[in-house]
């Protein structure tokens, strides 16, 4: 469970670091599975300009260890402090494992949702130590409180963002293998560039509180804690 101060920090700054959230054995199994799928070129994958696999997509449809990580009880406890008891993991945002090789293409500052009223909580599970050399995550604290945008990526293309000098307020977030970074989906962030010859492996997942106003089952979401309870005003009285 998170402390009241950690919850406030997350809500106020838009992120929270949680050390030692994943046990070494789970981290090792995830890394081994990612490297096996990369070697096999198991689709769907994202490749860089040289054809190298830099990301495995749709990990929740791959080996059970990815689902095991997404539902790791200490992670669900942490999420419960922020999202309440009924939680869904989404399959159509994130749901990927990243190798972050040194490439010519840099990640841009982006958001993971366009508007706050249906944002999501992004969880980055680090499988290797990350630092400024190998491209730790960079975030602009507090930027989740700024207005919504009509774009996800290249947030600087929005004039007010470009004129705000905000992106130069970004801070690097070094983390260790097994740590988890929780982010409000609206916080500006990016993967840092990797200047080494090694991987910087991580897995990113998106979570929501179960949507009380959605009557139907949604195949793009998996309930990972509690139940999905419809609470719309149009429910028939008992
Ligand atoms: O891995 C990171 O540092 C950032 C991840 C991210 O932005 C993403 O997966 O969308």
**What atom of ligand 1 comes closest to residue 200's alpha carbon?**
1
Question: What's the pLDDT score for residue 11?
Answer: 97
Work out the percent of the chain whose per-residue pLDDT is above 90: 93
CA 198, CA 130: separation in Å to the nearest integer? 11
189 within ligand 1 shell (Cβ under 6 A): yes
Q: Residue 235's pLDDT is what?
A: 86
CA–centroid distance, residue 111 to ligand 1 (Å): 10
Which pTM was predicted? 0.96
Element housing 126 (H / E): strand 121-126
Average pLDDT, integer, range 169-196: 97
For residue 237, pLDDT over 80 is answered with: no
CA 46 from centroid of its chain's CA atoms? 17
Distance 232 CA to ligand 1 centre (A): 34
Residue 216 in this model has a pLDDT that exceeds 90: no
Q: How confident is the model at residue 238 (pLDDT cuts 50, 70, 90)?
A: low
Q: What is the mean pLDDT of residues 24-36?
A: 98
Q: Is the separation of the CB atoms in 145 and 193 below 8 Å?
A: no
Ligand 1 close to Cβ of residue 137 (< 6 A): yes
Superfamily for domain range 4-225: q2cbj1_9rhob like domain (2.60.120.620)
* Cα–ligand 1 centroid distance for 191 (angstroms): 5
Instruction: Give residue-wise pLDDT tens across range 65-124.
Output: 999 999 999 999 999 999 999 999 999 999 999 999 998 888 899 999 999 998 899 999
In this prediction, residues 8-14 reach a mean pLDDT of 98
**Among 122, 132, 194, which residue has the most ligand 1 atoms within 8 Å of its CB, making it the best to mutate?**
122
Sign of CA dihedral 100, 16, 70, 205: negative
Hey, where are the domains in the chain? 4-225
In sequence order, what DSSP letters do the residues of 201-238 get, joined into one string? Answer: -EEEEEEEE--TT--S--TTEEEEES------TTPPP-
137 Cα: distance to centroid of ligand 1 (angstroms): 7
Does pLDDT of 139 surpass 80? yes
Percent of the chain scored above 70 by pLDDT? 100
For a mutational test of ligand 1's pocket, the pick from 99, 108, 124, i.e. the residue with the most ligand atoms closer than 8 A to its C-beta, is 124
pLDDT of residue 200: 97
């Amino acid at each position: 469970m998170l402390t009241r101060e950690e919850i406030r920090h997350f809500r106020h700054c838009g992120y929270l670091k949680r050390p030692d959230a994943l046990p070494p054995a789970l981290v090792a199994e995830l890394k081994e599975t990612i490297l096996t799928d990369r070697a096999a070129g198991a689709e769907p994958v994202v490749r860089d300009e040289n054809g190298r696999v830099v990301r495995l997509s749709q990990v929740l449809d791959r080996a059970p260890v990815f689902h095991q990580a997404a539902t790791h009880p200490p992670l669900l406890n942490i999420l419960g402090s922020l999202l309440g008891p009924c939680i869904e993991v989404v399959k159509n945002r994130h749901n990927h494992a990243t190798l972050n090789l040194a490439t010519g293409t840099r990640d841009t500052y982006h958001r993971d949702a366009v508007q706050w009223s249906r944002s999501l909580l992004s969880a980055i599970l680090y499988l290797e130590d990350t630092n400024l050399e190998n491209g730790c995550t960079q975030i602009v604290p507090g930027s989740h409180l700024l207005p919504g945008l009509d774009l996800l990526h290249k947030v600087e293309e929005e004039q007010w963002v470009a004129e705000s000098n905000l992106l130069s307020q970004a801070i690097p977030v070094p983390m260790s293998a097994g740590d988890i970074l929780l982010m409000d989906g609206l916080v500006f962030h990016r993967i840092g560039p990797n200047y080494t010859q090694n991987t910087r492996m991580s897995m990113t997942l998106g979570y929501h509180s179960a949507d009380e106003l959605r009557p139907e089952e949604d195949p793009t979401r998996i309930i990972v804690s509690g139940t999905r309870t419809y609470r719309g005003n149009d429910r028939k009285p008992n």
